Amino acid sequence: MTLALEHLLAIYLIVVGPWLSRILYQKARRRLAAGDLLAKVKMYRVTVTDQVVSTLVVLGLLHWGGIPASSLGLGAPRTWWLSGALTAVFGGLLLWSAIRLRRKATKIREKLKDRLEALLPDTPIEQRWFAAVSIGAGIAEELTYRGFLFYYATLWFPHINSLEKALVTSLVFGMGHIYQGWKGVVSVGLSGLILAGLYLLSGNLLLPIVVHALGDLRAIAMAQPQAPGTAPVAA
């Protein structure tokens, strides 16, 4: 049963998930074009649900599958001081980046319009749900793409080294964001390489989870001011 669940999760991450995400994003775009003020919120809710389910699946494998916590990146980091120092450095860089994004929000959003317009939040309720999506992505995507896929690759392809695992899992991570187009796949894939490097360096998922979540939360800095009466009510 555990083995079948591992294969199913791998198939979902590699094959099914990317196309489901694309369908969900395109559906949100159509809803926005039709004037649905809650289109983004509906997409965020489905995304959070998916994140919760995938997290529970990995934790279920940990609890019932007999997988060592360290194999999924859930053991103690190699050194707490290194993880803390790197968290502070990356946190500072991401905060500085968010400030810059805020100053150039209109110009950047115009460049990203075709790729991410239906994803970026604007209204207060969208910003709250997007924050939940960002934190959920930090947890769920690191557990699955870094923790689980590193373990799965080690289990079934023991001959590949850490660098090769980082490259393969980052490619899968990038393809998981194919709804952003091929530029998005490349950009996210490169981000995945950085996160994989942080995972290998620290020996624990805590650092990549924090960096991932903070990186996604920066998008809130690009929120566009809403005219009075245009914000959707909280459902």
Domains of the chain, by residue range, sit at 2-222
Which residue pairs from 195-201 have beta carbons closer than 8 angstroms and sit at least 24 positions apart in sequence?
Answer: 195/142, 195/146, 195/170, 196/146, 196/150, 196/165, 196/166, 196/169, 196/170, 197/166, 198/86, 198/90, 199/73, 199/142, 199/146, 199/147, 199/150, 200/162, 200/166, 201/82, 201/86
Q: How many CA atoms lie less than 13 Å away from 202 in the CB half-sphere? A: 29
pLDDT, residue 227, reads 45
pLDDT value, residue 226: 55
Residue 228 predicted with pLDDT over 60 = no
pLDDT in tens, 61-99: 998 888 899 999 999 898 899 999 999 999 999 999 998
Per the CB < 8 A criterion, the answer to whether 205 and 130 are in contact is no
Report how far residue 195's alpha carbon sits from residue 215's, in angstroms, rounded to the nearest whole number.
11
Query: Tens digit of pLDDT for each residue in 151-177?
Result: 999 999 999 999 999 999 999 999 999
**pLDDT higher at 205 or 224:** 205
Global pTM value:
0.92
Query: Is residue 47's pLDDT more than 90?
Result: yes
Q: Average pLDDT for residues 105-110, to the nearest whole number?
A: 82
Q: What percent of the chain has pLDDT over 70?
A: 94
